[in-house]
């Protein structure tokens, strides 16, 4: 294994080489620089991919690239994009953009999902954008940028898109399959945990960024109410531990009225066999999804980790999530932090949920693959929950192989021992994720860029709800 100094220097050189320039200014980073294969769309800058790089740049005082990224992506938000009847709603941020050169002039071309595989909608882009804007303001103190009229308009457009009246009555956000990091069909349509965690963090970011005044004050009130109901809903109905599992096992179905205990009509027989043995005595996690007569019992890493970072999960739940990760370390971390979801779906279930997707075969890619970019969120949560030893262990595991394997996008296999079959090398968010995790472990004060403390308004509402019950 390379020495620590050489490894860090190599990673920084690769990160700086990945920068995208527009009019001689860096405005982002490409997804990957694997010269051995066709670029496809990996030569574009993806909003979700850039977040780990952006946080790293902010920590090292390189805020200009983050500022310019925020400005340029905001300018893309209001573009009217329509192609072959694929139309982006106002407020949606692009999934990615590419700087194009034509006749000596440069322009930025955005992709709102109309070119993506499966034409999936990038719901998470606008949520990550708000979270990153808050991080930029916290790092630089440049609240004037967030208070500019165009930024305030952009924030409001995102809020209108996210908070629009709809048939759905839950406080969670309803999205189609493939709307976030898992951007291929994986049976995660509805109210997936990852979107709810990002939604919660984005709403909290917006509340901090809104300029005082009539419009800002009105939205602040709306946001506080939605944050409270969303927090209560996730903590009350998504939480799984052994006690909760026993409660579900003894649920009575077909309950009606306000006194119903089984509010979502979850049938005990839907509990998967693997979970009854896998759930530890101590520890728990937030379920992957919830809907009428449906609970997705899979463990989704980014949703759980972002729930801790944003304080969507309670302090007790956050500690329990880390207890579960520690006790199921081989399954969730294995030989490369960290598995995107557990377990993988296989056989007939794989055919139904993925549409026979050959890239999402069991224990590969989004179907139980290991993604090094998740290292930074694991390190952040380890520090926030006072479990730094887990973060250091994960960082040590990653350091052994990432450079040797040429910084791949993801790993395959039940324990993440194989470089992903279709994995791109020199994946930028793999590189940035490693460096950012190291920063969080060595300098935990930087967590304030991305982390949120417990919301006092939420705590008050939860106490009131408990009194009513």
Mean pLDDT of 30-58: 94
User: What distance in Å separates the CA atoms of residue 72 and residue 95, rounded to the nearest whole number?
Assistant: 13
- Is 462 part of any domain? no
Mean pLDDT of 130-146: 98
Which residue from 391, 387, 390, 400 is spatially nearest to 441, judged by alpha carbons?
391
Model pLDDT for residues 64-120, shown as the tens digit of each residue: 999 999 999 999 996 555 555 556 678 899 999 999 998 889 999 999 988 888 788
How many domains are contained in the chain? 1
- The answer, yes or no, to whether residue 295 has pLDDT greater than 70, is yes
Mean pLDDT of 344-369: 97
Tell me the three state secondary structure of residue 102: strand
Would you state the pLDDT for residue 54?
98
- Is 464 part of any domain? no
Tell me the three state secondary structure of residue 223: helix
Helix spans in 290-427 (H): 301-309, 315-327, 329-332, 347-354, 375-384, 388-401
pLDDT averaged over every residue in the chain:
93
Q: What are phi and psi of 239, to 5 degrees?
A: -70, 135
Would you state the pLDDT for residue 97?
96
Would you state the pLDDT for residue 22?
96
User: What distance in Å separates the CA atoms of residue 229 and residue 186, rounded to the nearest whole number?
Assistant: 27
Model pLDDT for residues 229-251, shown as the tens digit of each residue: 999 999 999 999 999 999 999 99
- Is 466 part of any domain? no
Gyration radius of the chain's alpha carbons:
21
Would you state the pLDDT for residue 462?
61
Which residue from 48, 210, 71, 231 is spatially nearest to 134, judged by alpha carbons?
210
Mean pLDDT of 260-280: 94
Count of CA atoms in the C-beta half-sphere (13 A) of 91: 16
Name beta bridge partners: 45: 97
- Is 358 part of any domain? yes
Give the CATH number of the domain where residue 16 resides. Answer: 1.50.10.10
* Tokens at 462, concatenated: 């939860």
In this prediction, residue 220 has a pLDDT band, given cuts at 50, 70 and 90, of: very high
In this prediction, residue 254 has a pLDDT band, given cuts at 50, 70 and 90, of: confident
Strands 96-102 and 86-87 come out as: unpaired
Name beta bridge partners: 326: none
Model pLDDT for residues 374-412, shown as the tens digit of each residue: 999 999 999 999 999 999 999 999 999 999 999 999 999
User: What distance in Å separates the CA atoms of residue 162 and residue 195, rounded to the nearest whole number?
Assistant: 11
Task: Tell me which of 44 and 464 has the higher pLDDT.
Answer: 44
Would you state the pLDDT for residue 268?
94
In this prediction, residue 468 has a pLDDT band, given cuts at 50, 70 and 90, of: low
The number of beta carbons lying within 10 Å of the beta carbon of residue 355 is: 14
Mean pLDDT of 150-163: 96
In this prediction, residue 361 has a pLDDT band, given cuts at 50, 70 and 90, of: very high
- The answer, yes or no, to whether residue 218 has pLDDT greater than 70, is yes
Domain ranges, residue 195: 4-456
- The answer, yes or no, to whether residue 466 has pLDDT greater than 90, is no
The number of beta carbons lying within 10 Å of the beta carbon of residue 252 is: 10
- Is 467 part of any domain? no
- Is 63 part of any domain? yes
What percent of the chain is modeled with pLDDT above 70?
A: 95
In degrees to the nearest 10, what's the CA dihedral of 411, 413, 417, 418?
-60
- Is 421 part of any domain? yes
- Is 468 part of any domain? no
The number of beta carbons lying within 10 Å of the beta carbon of residue 183 is: 22
Which residue from 111, 187, 212, 128 is spatially nearest to 162, judged by alpha carbons?
128
Which CA distances in Å does 400 have to 335, 421, 428? 9, 20, 18
């Amino acid at each position: 294994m390379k020495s620590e100094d050489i490894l860090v220097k190599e990673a920084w050189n690769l990160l700086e080489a990945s920068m995208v320039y527009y009019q001689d200014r860096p405005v982002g980073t490409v997804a990957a620089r694997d010269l051995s294969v066709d670029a496809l769309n990996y030569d574009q800058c993806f909003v979700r991919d850039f977040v780990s790089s952006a946080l790293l740049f902010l920590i090292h005082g390189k805020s200009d690239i983050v500022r310019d990224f925020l400005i340029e992506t905001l300018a893309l938000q209001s573009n009217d994009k329509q192609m072959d009847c694929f139309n982006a709603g106002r407020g949606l941020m692009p999934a990615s953009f590419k700087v194009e050169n034509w006749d000596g002039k440069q322009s930025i071309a955005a992709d709102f999902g109309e070119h993506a595989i499966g034409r999936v909608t990038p719901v998470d882009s606008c949520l990550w954008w708000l979270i990153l804007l808050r991080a930029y303001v916290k790092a630089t103190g440049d609240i004037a940028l967030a208070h500019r009229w165009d930024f305030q308009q952009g924030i409001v457009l995102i809020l209108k898109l996210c908070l629009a009246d709809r048939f759905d009555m839950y406080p969670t956000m309803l999205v189609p399959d493939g709307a976030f990091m898992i951007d291929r069909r994986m049976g995660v349509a509805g109210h997936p945990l990852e979107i709810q965690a990002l939604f919660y963090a984005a709403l909290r970011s917006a509340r901090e960024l809104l300029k005082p005044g009539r419009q800002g004050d009105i939205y602040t009130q709306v946001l506080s109410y939605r944050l409270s109901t969303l927090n209560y809903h996730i903590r009350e109905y998504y939480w799984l531990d052994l006690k909760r599992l026993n409660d579900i096992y003894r649920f009575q179905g077909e309950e009606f009225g306000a006194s119903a205990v089984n509010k979502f009509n979850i049938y005990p027989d839907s509990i998967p066999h693997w979970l009854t043995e896998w759930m530890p005595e101590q520890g728990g996690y937030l379920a992957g999804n919830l809907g009428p007569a449906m609970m997705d019992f899979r463990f989704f890493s980014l949703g759980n980790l972002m729930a801790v970072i944003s304080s969507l999960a309670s302090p007790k739940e956050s500690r329990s999530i880390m207890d579960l990760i520690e006790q199921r370390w081989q399954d969730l971390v294995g030989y490369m932090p960290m598995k995107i979801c557990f377990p993988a779906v296989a056989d007939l279930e794989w055919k139904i949920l993925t549409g026979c997707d050959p890239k999402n075969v069991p224990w590969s890619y989004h179907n139980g693959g290991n993604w090094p970019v998740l290292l930074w969120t694991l390190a952040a949560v380890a520090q926030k929950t006072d479990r730094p030893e887990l973060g250091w262990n994960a960082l040590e595991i990653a350091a052994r192989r990432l450079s040797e394997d040429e910084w791949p996008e993801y790993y395959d296999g039940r324990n993440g021992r194989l470089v992903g079959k279709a994995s791109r090398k020199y994946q930028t968010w793999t590189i940035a994720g490693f460096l950012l995790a190291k920063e969080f472990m060595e300098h935990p004060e930087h967590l304030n860029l991305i982390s949120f403390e417990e919301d006092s308004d939420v705590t008050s509402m939860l106490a009131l709800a408990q009194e009513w019950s």
